[in-house]
Amino acid sequence: MNFEVIGANIVKILSKYWRVFLIEGLSVTLELAFISVLLGVLLGTVVAMLKMSRFKLVRALISVYVEVIRGTPILLQLYIFVFALPSMITFVKLNYFTWTAIALCINSSAYVSEVIRSGIQAVDKGQTEAARSLGLSSGQTMLRIVLPQAVRNILPALGNEFIMMLKETSLASTFFVGDLMTSYLTVKGTTYLGFECLVIVGAIYLCVTYPLSKLVGLLEKKMSGESSYRSHKKKAKAKA
């Protein structure tokens, strides 16, 4: 393997196709990940609420939903949403990008719902009881008291979910939606330099995900530090 030739090829590819990789491919990848996680959080919040419902049938149905989504490969889900559903729902005309975003959103919601549910359950139940005793309804208590505190607990996990979704969007290249891996396939088909194109795409993914993972790590440390400080403060008050 001649590394000098590979390096020269990488420079040549970047000088000619940097716009395909950095502007077209990366922008679509970031857009797809952002939409999927944002809508996944909103849907996941609803799913988490329903899973904590007092109705057994609702809890059972939501549990089936979560287990099916989490227990099947995401590529299978993408095939269902991109090929199977459009053939059955003929009155809805959506492009591949939209169907892919919907599939990723639903996949994300199943994982995020468990994160949100655990974050809600981590909030001290005494605060819920105190809010209810002050006259707040269960909905007001959840929106004003519980969820704001739960968000602090789940922010690092949501950051990790965004990083995971960034990498999972690579599967969308199966349908040529314009993401980074689609850019790789396009440039490789033009230059016949598959290895060099893979190195470029891998470097771009790493340059995006590595700083994000470090940022999430700092956020986790900050959250855990604040949590331990509040716990220590509570113990000190109890002793006093």
Task: Going residue by residue through the chain, which has 240 residues, state the pLDDT in tens, using 9 for 90 and above.
Answer: 678 899 999 999 999 999 989 888 999 999 999 999 999 999 998 999 899 888 899 999 999 999 999 999 999 999 999 999 988 887 888 889 999 999 999 999 999 999 888 888 877 777 777 777 877 777 777 777 787 777 777 888 888 889 999 999 999 888 888 899 999 999 999 999 999 999 999 999 999 999 999 988 888 787 766 555 455 455 555 555
Q: Report the 3 state secondary structure along the chain.
A: CCHHHHHHHHHHHHHHHHHHHHHHHHHHHHHHHHHHHHHHHHHHHHHHHHHCCCCHHHHHHHHHHHHHHHHCCHHHHHHHHHHHHHHHCCCCCCCHHHHHHHHHHHHHHHHHHHHHHHHHHCCCHHHHHHHHHCCCCHHHHHHHHHHHHHHHHHHHHHHHHHHHHHHHHHHHHHHCCCCHHHHHHHHHHHHCCHHHHHHHHHHHHHHHHHHHHHHHHHHHHHHHHHHHHHHHHHHHHHHC
Domain encompassing residue 113? 3-121+137-213
State which amino acid sits at residue 207: C
> What is the predicted pLDDT for the residue at 229?
47
Q: Could you tell me if residue 225 is inside a domain? A: no
Q: Could you tell me if residue 223 is inside a domain? A: no
Residue for token digits 């290895």? Answer: 195
Q: Could you tell me if residue 167 is inside a domain? A: yes
Please tell me the distance from the alpha carbon of residue 143 to that of residue 10, in angstroms, as a whole number: 52
Please tell me the distance from the alpha carbon of residue 35 to that of residue 186, in angstroms, as a whole number: 24
Please tell me the distance from the alpha carbon of residue 239 to that of residue 233, in angstroms, as a whole number: 10
Q: Could you tell me if residue 221 is inside a domain? A: no
Q: Could you tell me if residue 158 is inside a domain? A: yes
Q: Could you tell me if residue 229 is inside a domain? A: no
The CATH number for 148's domain is: 1.10.3720.10
For the chain, how many structural domains are there in total?
1
Q: Could you tell me if residue 16 is inside a domain? A: yes
Model's pTM, two decimal places? 0.84
Q: Could you tell me if residue 153 is inside a domain? A: yes
Residues 129, 61, 121: CA angle, nearest 5 degrees: 25
Widest distance between CA atoms in the chain: 74
